[in-house]
Structure 1
C-alpha cells in the first residue's frame, strides 16, 4: 500500500460508512500519481504470480489473479466514476492520458508468456482438477481473455495488437469527450411568450433552471439533455424551434469542428478490423460475439431483420395517422423527425384521452424510487435505508444501506439522479466495489458490493418535486434492475460477480425489472399526485396500461436501425466512409424519412466509447428473454409469486457469470424463449398472427 506523503491514502483506504470511499477527502490532483503507484503495484503482483516456482494450481494462479490489483481497482473505480458523472477539464486531460496507459498495462499482462503458460496448463487439465462449475467458468474466462489479448501470437504480432488496442482506447475516450462537449456547449435560449407555446409548467421549470445554470436568469434553455430535449420536441407548438433543436441534437459529433467524430469512427473501425484479423476472426463482430448467447452475426441479423419488418410496417401506420392529424390542423407539410413526437403525443391524448403532461404529476421521483425499493422487497426480501449526511461524489448523490430480512447489510447503493453539465448523457449502473468471497491480503474476507446508478432527470426548481415522464420512470427501474444484479450477487470470484456476464445477457435483469413499474398494485400505491397525494385515478391508470404499446413502431425502428448499422460497421472488411455505410444500410432497409436512428454514428457512444461495439443488439436479445421471463409470473396470476421470485433470484440475479447464461435461464424458466412474447409485448404482433405464420 502506498504510504509516502505524495499519495492521498483516501484513494486506497476506504474507511467511510461500511467501507465507502471518503469522497470528501479526494482531489482531482490526487489521481495521476496514484495511478502510477497502483499500476506499478499490480505489475509487481503479476510478476510474482507468473514467476511462482511452484507448479500452477487454481489457487496460486487463478485465485491469485482474481484478487491482484486491488489498489488499481480502487483508484480506477473512483476515477472513471468522476470521468462519467462529474468531470471537468483536469479529469478529461488525465482521462486522455490514463486510457492508453491502462490499455498498455493490460496488454502487457495479456502477453505475459510465463503467466499464460500457467493458465494454459490449467485449462488443458481442467477436467481432471476437480474444479467447481464456478471455478471452471472463471478459469475459462481467464484463458479466453489471454487468448484474445494475443497470448498465442508471435511476439511481433503481440506488440502490434497492444499498439492497436492502445490507439483504440485513446480514440474511444476522445469520442465520448467530443459528444459531451457538444451537449454542454449548445443551448437554445428562449424568452417567455410565443417561444413557450405548448410548454407545460414542469418543463418550463427545468428549462428555467438550465438557463440559470448558464447565467441566463429569467429565460428558458432548451439543452441537449434527453430530459429536456425530448419533452420539448413533444410539447412545443413552435415547429421552427423544434426543428432547430432537433437538428442540433442529431448533429452531436458531426459538426466539421474540433469535436467532429466522423474521422474517429473511421479510424476505430479500421483498427478494430485489424485486431479481429490478428486474432484469427473474420471480422470484429465475430470476435465480440464469441462467448455470447447470440454466438454469430448471422443470428443477430436474423433477429433484427425479423423485428424490422414488423416494426417498419407498424411505423408506416403510425405515420399515416400523424399525416392525417397534420392535415386536420390545416397544414400541408410532410411528417419530419421533429414532428413525430409532437403529433404522436397529440394522437395518444386523443386515442387514450390522456397526455404526458396529465400523467407526470403522478410520477414523482421520490415515489418512483420508493416503488423500486418496494418491488425489490416484495421479490427479494431486501429494503433500503437512506443514510443522510454521508458524503458522496456530488451533493446530489444519495447513499442507501441495502439490508435483508434478517437486517444483515448486503450492499451499499448510491443514487445520482439529476442532469448536470459535468455528467455525460444517458443513464447507467456501475460499481465502486463488486461482491465476492475471497480472502484479501489485508485480512478481509470478501467484499461488500458498492453499486451506483446515474440518471439525467431534469432537476426541479427549489422546493418543487422532480416529476418524471413514464419513460423516465422506466429508466429508473431499468438501472435499478442492473443495480440489483450487482447487489444480490452471491458468488466466490470477483470476475463473475454481478454484471460480469455476457453482453447479451446483462440487460435481462434490468429490462425485466421494468415490467414491475406498470404492475397495477405498484402504480396504485406510488403513482400519487404531488400536490394532493391522491392516487392516480383508475380511469387514468387503465389508459396508461392500454397505451403501453402506443408508438411501438417508431420506437422499434429507432432502435433496430441503430443495431443494424452497428452490425454493418463491424462485419465489413473496410469502411472508408462510415457515414456512407450508415446511409447505405438505412436506404437498403427502407428507413422512413420521418424517423432517424436512435443514435446516429457520430454520437453513438454505446458502440464507440461504451463497450457495446457489435453489441447494441443485446438490448433486443435480452428483451426476448425478459418478455418470456415476466410471462412466467403472469402465468401464475401473481406478479410477486414467491416461488418464481426465489427462482429468479437464485438463477438470474445472484449467480452472475458463475454459470452459462443459457443454463441459468433454463434453470429459471425450464426452456429458452422464442421472440414471440417480445413481439406481442411490443404490440408488433399477436399470438394469433404468430401462430398463423408458423402454420
Structure 2
C-alpha cells in the first residue's frame, strides 16, 4: 500500500504528505520508471506510421507517474530534507538520470520522432503543437540522439556523474550553513542591532542549546541584519569571513574540486554534442542566443553602472570617515555604513518600515493584487495535507468561482530547508482528452520568524522577495496550455524572471501599499511620506547593486563560456574573472564559486545573466502598466493572456511583443536604477 502509487484521495488530488514516508519513495520511483519505460515501448511498437499524435503527444504524456513522484521527492529535498532523504536522493538521482537518458538516447524512438519532424509541414499544427514538435526533436538531438553508441555511453556517464556532484555540492553547503553559529554572551556586542533582531537571536540561541545568549547563523534572516546593523566591526568581519568562505575551508565540505569537475563535465558534454562550450549549448535555447551576446549585454550594463557604483562606494567611504574616522572601508563595513547613510539621507530604514509589513498583511496584499489584476481569490483549506506544520495551503478560484490552482506557502527557515527563496510546483497544468489538470504551486522563503513578543515583521527586501516569488507563482497558477512541458514557468530561462520581477514594482506604489501596509499594533496605514521615501530610496546604491549582479553573471560565463580544463586554482580564476567588477580591496580567501548554488546546484548555469536580462523586460513592461494605470484591467488581461497563461507555447519575444506592441527598451531600467537621468 504505497500512497505514491495510488490515486491521491485528497482535495484536488494534492500530495498526501500525511501518508508518505521516506521508505515509500525508492520503490515508487522504480515502479514509475518501469511504467514509463513500458509507455515508451508502446510508442516504439505501434505498427501505425509515426505521426504527431501517436509519437510526439504520446511521448509528452509518458512518464507522468515518474514526474509526479520525483517532483514531490525533490521538492521535499529542498524544503524539508533530512539525512534519510539526502541518502535517498543519491540513489534516486542516478536512476532518474539513467531513465531520462534511456529515452533520449533510444535510436528507434528517435527515428520515429525524426520522421514526424521531417514531415512537419504536412501537419496542420497550432503554434503550441509546432513548438512541442520542435522542442521534442531538439531535446533528443541536444541530448545525443545523433551520437555513436560509444559516445552515447560517454554521455550517460557524464550525466550520471554531474547529477551526483550537484547533490554533493548542495549537501556540503547545507551542512556548513547548519554547522556554524556565532555565539555572543556580552550584550554590549549587540550594539546597533534592533530589538527584534536581538530577540530572534536569543530565540535561535535557545533552539541551539545556548540559552541566555545570542546566536547568529549563516541563514539570510540572521546574517543580513547582523551585517547591516551591528556596530561591532570585529564581529562583522568574523561573520563575513565565515559566510564568504562557505565551501572553501579545506575541510570535508570544501566544494573546489566539485565545481571544477562539474564545469569540466559540462564542457566535455557540450563538445561531445558538437558545441564549442557549455554556454553555447545552453544559450541556443535562450532569448540571448549566444555567449557573445550575453557578455556584450553584461559589459554594456557594466559601463553604465560602474562609474555610478564607484561614486556610491566613495560616498559611503566618505560618510564612514566623517562620522567614525574609518578610512579603510572593507566589504564587511559596506552594508553597515550604507544603511546608516541611507537612514540619514532618506530618514528611512527597516526598523521604521517593518512594523507596517506584518507577514500576514503582506500575504493578504499579494492576494489583493492578484484579485485586482487577474480576478483571483485565495481561501485557506486545512483539509489539504502539508509537508510541515508551518506550511499553509490555499485553494485558488477565478471571478466565476472556478477552481484555478492549489497554492502552498512556506515562509520560515528551519534545519531541513535550503537557504534563499523559490517557487516550485508539485503538479503542472495540462489538457488531455477533454480534461484539464490544474496546477499545485508552492513558494518557499526564509523570512524573519515571529518571536515570543512580535509577529513576523518583514524587511522591505523581504516584502519584494514575497512579491517576486508570488509573481512566479502566478505564472504557474494561471497556466493555460495543452502540454505540461510547455506550460506555466516552462519557458526560456531568460524569460522566466519577467513575471516575478515585474510584480515587485507594485510593492513600491502607494495605490498598492495602501491596500495592506498598516502598523501591526495600531492599524495605522503606512504614512504617505514613508511611501515617498521608499520610492526615493529605491535606487539608492543602484550602481553598486547592478555591478554586484553583473559580477555573478560574468563569473557564471567565466566558468561556462570557455575551456575550464585549465582551471587549477578556483580562487585565482574567480579573482581574475571578476576583477573589472571589484569595488573594494581584495579579501584573501573570500570566494563566491564554492557557494554559487544557482549555477552548480540549481538550473542557472550560463543563465545567471537572465536576472538582469529580465529586469530590462520588467522595467519596460511596468512602464506600460504605468501609462495605463497599475491596476488597468485591459493591460493586465494582455499580460495574463500573452505572458502568464501562454507559458512556453511560442518564442518569448513573439509573446512579449504581443503584450507590449514592440520590443523592450533598456532605457526604463537605466532610469529606474539611476544609471541615467530620468528625464533622458
TM-score, normalised to structure 2's length? 0.97
Deviations 1:24-80 (A, max 9, x none): 111112111111111111111112112211111111111111221122112111110
Q: 1:220-273 CA distances to partner (integer Å, 9 max, x unpaired)?
A: 211111111111100101111111111111111111011110100111111111
Residues 107-186 of structure 1 correspond to what in structure 2 (within 5 A)? 107-186=101-180
Distance 1:235 1:99 in 2: 42
Equivalent residue runs for 1:30-49 within 5 Å: 30-49=24-43
1:169–1:681 Cα change, 3 Å: same
Contact 1:559 1:598 in 2 (8 A): no
CA shift for structure 1 position 390: 3.5
Residue 180 of structure 1, CA deviation: 0.8
Partner of 2:341: 347
Kindly report which structure 2 residues correspond to 1:486-501, keeping only aligned pairs within 5 A, or say none: 486-501=476-491
Shift in Å at residue 609 of structure 1? 0.7
Give the whole-Å Cα distance in 2 for the aligned partners of 1:596 and 1:419: 30
Equivalents in 1 of 2:482, 2:588: separation in Å?
Answer: 45
Q: Which consecutive unaligned segments of at least 5 residues does structure 1 have? A: 690-695
Q: Which segment drifts farther, 580-589 or 110-119?
A: 580-589
CA distance in 2, matches of 1:598, 1:298: 28
Secondary structure, counterpart of 1:504 in structure 2: helix
Q: How is 1:232-251 mapped onto 2 (pairs within 5 angstroms)?
A: 232-251=226-245
CA contact (8 A) 2:4 2:69 kept: no
| Contact kept in structure 2, 1:562 and 1:598, CA below 8 Å | no
| Residues 589 and 220 of structure 1: CA distance in aligned 2, closer, same or farther (over 3 Å) | closer
RMSD: 1.7
2:638 aligns with 647
Aligned counterpart in structure 1 of residue 210 of structure 2, from 211, 216, 226: 216
* 1:418 match: secondary structure: coil
Kindly report which structure 2 residues correspond to 1:383-398, keeping only aligned pairs within 5 A, or say none: 383-388=377-382, 390-398=384-392
After TM superposition, the structure 1 = structure 2 runs for residues 410-559 of structure 1, keeping only pairs within 5 Å, are: 410-439=404-433, 445-462=435-452, 464-559=454-549
- Separation (CA, whole Å) in 1 of partners of 2:185 and 2:631: 49
Q: Separation in 1 of the partners of 2:677 and 2:294?
A: 23
- CA contact under 8 A between 2:3 and 2:20: conserved in structure 1? no
**In structure 1, how many angstroms separate the alpha carbons of the residues matched to 2:582 and 2:159?**
36
Choose from 665, 673, 685 the match for 2:676. 685
Q: Which among 250, 267, 273 is matched to residue 273 of structure 1?
A: 267
Query: Could you report, residue by residue, the CA deviation over 1:650-693 in whole angstroms, capped at 9, with x for unpaired residues?
Result: 0000000011101000000011112221111111112555xxxx
- TM-score, length basis structure 1: 0.95
Segments of 5+ residues of structure 2 without an aligned counterpart are none
The CA distance in 1 between the partners of 2:109 and 2:661, in whole Å, is 40
**Aligned ranges for residues 599-638 of structure 1 at < 5 Å?**
600-636=592-628, 638=629
1:174-208 C-alpha deviation (Å, 9 max, x unpaired): 11111111111111011252121111122122222
Which aligned pairs between 1:82-121 and structure 2 lie closer than 5 A?
Answer: 82-121=76-115
Q: Deviations over 1:149-192 (max 9, x none)?
A: 10011111111111111111110111111111111111101125
Contact persistence 2:425–2:440 (CA under 8 A): yes
**SS of equivalent to 2:526:** coil
Which whole-Å CA distance do the structure 2 matches of 1:504 and 1:273 have between them?
21
**Does residue 193 of the first structure (1) align with residue 187 of the second (2)?**
yes
* Cα distance in 1, alignment partners of residues 587 and 461 from structure 2: 19
Determine if contact 1:382/1:403 at 8 Å carries over to the other structure.
yes
Q: How far apart in 1 are the matches of 2:590 and 2:609?
A: 13
The CA distance in 2 between the partners of 1:492 and 1:261, in whole Å, is: 41
Partners of 1:115 and 1:328 in 2: how far apart?
71
Deviation at 1:523, TM superposition (A): 1.2
Name the SS of the counterpart of 1:372 in structure 2: helix
Matched residues in 1 for 2:586 and 2:316: separation?
Answer: 10
Q: Which runs of 4+ in 1 moved over 4 A?
A: 588-591, 594-599
The residue aligned with 1:675 is 666
